[in-house]
Every structure is written in structure tokens, then in C-alpha cells.
Amino acid sequence: MKKILYIILGVIMVSVTSCLDIDNWDEPDVRVHGNIIDSYTGENLLSSQGEWGIRIWERTWTESVPNNQNLTVKQDGSYNNSKLFAGTYDMLPYGGPFWPVDTTKAIVFDGNTEQDFTVTPYLRLTDFEVSLNGLKLMLKCKLNAPVREGLPNLVEIKPFLSLTTFCGATNNINIGEYNNMRKQINKSWEEEVGDAETSDVYRIGPMPVKAGYTYYVRLGANVNDANRKYNYTEIVKVEVPADAVNDPNEVPANFFSNAQWPFSRSEWDGNRWGNLSGGWITNEAMRTRSGMGGYDGGWEGPDNDKQSLGFERWGEGETPIENGKLYQTFELPAGEYRFTMSLAGENPIISNSGDDPRYIVAALGETLPDIEDLSSALASTNFAGLGNDGNASVEFSVAEKTTVSAGFVVNFTGTEQNVRPSWLKLEKID
């Protein structure tokens, strides 16, 4: 037994000694560094820490394609790695918010190699403004797209807030209240902006902040390419005074009441359909469910009440909804307003089925116009085809204190048509 043990120990010692003899490479100590430069400005392309990077391939020993490594691009658009082996490499900025570039080949990494790259970003965010009013933060910017031919569809403009100097998609306060402030576009540049190189002003907010906190804020916008990374504004530091409060006479953050899932009902049929409480008005055309309309409790019966705002015409035997209206009426002070309807959220029965006309509308007075008269409205947009993670919004202004109604106008004459959103918001933006 002792002989067997000695043999095993001998084999182990030989193996360890052999490994020590072979593993005699020097540690990697070559540095490569540089900047990713915006071709429009000549300055570094701003990013979020580690959001995308540079692919490198070592070509020193073989002409075949080796596995790539990744160098992380930092928030300021620079990169630095001091733990690489000397050799010849190919390099490619990859996965970022810019038009594809060619691989730069045969770069020699020696003791200290500096290599810059110039890229053309999809978008530029310009005229960035940050304003703080009490405990409400408002962000503004314009979009610029000098290269518009072949530009993928715009996706969204999104606010990013952080409690550290690192701020962006990889470092932010990730709460629904801020995420819901994003401006979803999901259109081509031509559909959203037209022939112009620069858009009108986009307003994001007002967003709630806390007294005594310091925030780092920026906006990002992206396009629907394979990576959907963000082009960014610069980062602005916002210090909220410890004694900051909201004006007690300030207009509400949301003029709508009963405007977020779970929605509350007043009358209902005890099974699924009903009317919404909280100031919602449904016209006769919308009351196609035993004289009720606007509330959808789900199709599983009273024990599975889903509590959604909702209306639909599903089967052939159901009454068509022609100029059905669901809305609230407000006295609005003079100013600019945004009305947003969102399908993104926690509603378990979110839906926007079918392609019959369905509009969110804001109009003067105590009702909404019919679809054929929407040109008389303050603002309207058809949201047919909007996906279950999308928002639809319109903006309008009133010059003096005015009665305004806002809500839905739909024509559901086909089958398998319905709407069940997660939330609505009518906010004063200026």
C-alpha cells in the first residue's frame, strides 16, 4: 500500500514540476489606449461606461481568424488597457451607436500604443437644457441626423438619472417613474421629423426628485439597428436644495384621475364589463356592453378581475363601435401640454389588437369630435399598430384658462379589435 502511495505522489510531483517548467510566459504588460472620435464634432463620442467596446484580434502567430477580445469604451469615449501581450492586432469599434466602420488592420502593440478611431454617430442630441422647479426636473433637447439616407427607425428618447457621476444605460436609477417618461417614437426620421436635419424640441418630464439630493442627468436617443445603443447628451449635475418643495398651487403632475392600472370601476355587470370611476365619460356609442363601456375586468369571470380600462369589438355578433368616445374634461391654465397613453406597464391584459382607427385626442370643450372632424381637435394621433411596449403621445397648447377634453375616439367596425392600456397622463410641460 505504501508503494502505491509513493508512486501516486511521485506522479503528482512530476506533473507539478512539468507545469512550472512550461508556464514561463511573462505577464502581459503592453498598453493600448485612445479615443473614439465623433466625426461631426472632432470630440470624443460620449457613451455610458462599458456599454459597447472595441474588438481586437491578434494576428501575430496565425493568418486564420482567432477569437476576438473586447476592450471596454469608457463614458468619456476613451479606452485604455495595460494588460495585453505585444504583437500585431486588428481593431474594430463595434456595437455602438454609429454607422459601421472598417476594421483597422496590422496595428503593432508594443510598450505603449495609442490608436484613435473616428466614427459617424447615428444621432446627435443638441440644445440640451436642464431646469429644476421645486422638486420637478425637466429635460429638453433636439435631435440631429446629418446622415438620413438609410438611417434605421428612431426608437426613443430616454432620460437617465444617477446618484453618481456615471450616468447612462449601464448606470442609472432604474425605476418605472423615470422609465415611463421616455419619449417613444418608433418611426422613420422622415415620418417623425420630415426633410429637416434637426428636429423640434423634445421635452422629457417633469420628473420628481428628492430634496437634498445631487443628481447627474442626461438624455439618450437610439435607432433600431442590431445594437440599439444610445447617443447621449453631456451629463449635467443637478443639486436639489435641502429645503426645496413643490409649489402648493402647482398644477398636478397628472390631470387625469383613475389613470393607471389597476383601474377602478363604478357600475359593472358582475362578470367583466363596466364603467370607469373617477370622472371618465363614455358616450352612447362606446356603451356596447349592456349599456356600459370603458372598463374591462378580464374574460375569466369575477374571480379573475383584471381591472383594466378597456373597450373592444371582438366577434361578428357584437355591436360595432362607431365614434365611440371615452374621455375626461378639465379646466386647464394657459400653457403647453402633453397627453400620453402607454401600453407599456404592469397591466396583465395589455392589448392593442386590430387596425381599425383608434385615436388619442385633446379638444376644446366638454366632448371630443368625431373621427371625421378630428382636424378641429387641438391634437390627435392614431395609435393602431402600436406594440404592447409602446407609448402614443400628442402635444398642444392653450393661450388662456380653457375647458379641454382628452381621451379616446375609435371606430371599431371590424372584428378582433380592442384596447387595454396600462396608464394615461395629461401633464403641463411649460
CATH architecture of 30-119: Sandwich (2.60)
Q: Alpha carbon of 200 to those of 3, 94, 131, 192: distances in Å? A: 86, 30, 18, 10
What pLDDT shows up at residue 62?
64
What pLDDT shows up at residue 1?
47
Domain ranges of the chain: 30-119, 124-239, 265-428
Q: State the CB neighbour count (10 A cutoff) for residue 398.
A: 17
Distance CA 274, CA 271 (A): 9
What pLDDT shows up at residue 23?
52
Say whether domain 265-428 belongs to CATH 2.60.120.680. Answer: yes
Tell me the average confidence (pLDDT) per consecutive run of 10 residues in the chain, 430 residues long: 46 46 64 92 93 88 73 93 86 93 88 90 96 92 94 94 95 82 87 91 89 96 95 96 82 88 90 93 96 93 85 96 98 95 91 97 98 97 94 96 97 97 93
State the pairing for strand pair 30-38/117-119: parallel
Distance CA 198, CA 125 (A): 9
Cis amide leading into 206 (omega within 30): yes
Q: Do domains 30-119 and 124-239 have the same CATH topology?
A: yes
Say whether domain 124-239 belongs to CATH 2.60.120.10. Answer: no
What pLDDT shows up at residue 3?
47
What pLDDT shows up at residue 24?
56
